[in-house]
Amino acid sequence: MPESKGRQKAAEKLANRRARALSERRGENAEQKIRLSGARDWVPWVFVPLFLIGVVWLVLYYIAGNSIPIMSSLGNSNILVALGFILAGFVVSTAWK
């Protein structure tokens, strides 16, 4: 038989009380949690440009790679450079919460 809504809410309240008591025992408070949640606001501002730099590098290499001196000297290594930027973007994006 399914539980009533009242019993479900009571169980949720009990779980919340236990979590609050556990966090108080650990010395955490709400201000620390708020500060920690905003500590990684920089992540999207870093990984999105890394992705875009990688994609633009690859597109520029295919369109005008021979006429840009740095790209013409790198040759096919331009693909590795572009993928390096994209990979760096993925690595940074894993730090986002």
Question: How does pLDDT run along the chain (97 residues), one tens digit per residue?
Answer: 666 666 677 777 888 788 787 777 776 555 565 555 567 888 999 999 999 999 999 999 999 988 999 999 999 999 999 999 999 999 999 987 7
Rounded to two decimals, the pTM is 0.59
First to last CA, the chain: 38
> What does the angle CA 32 – CA 38 – CA 42 come to, to the nearest 5 degrees?
145
Is the CB of residue 96 less than 8 Å from the CB of residue 44?
yes
- Cα separations in angstroms, 66 against 3, 58, 76, 80: 70, 13, 11, 17
User: Using CA atoms, how far apart are residues 31 and 38, in angstroms rounded to an integer?
Assistant: 11
What's residue 63's pLDDT? Answer: 94
What's residue 22's pLDDT? Answer: 77
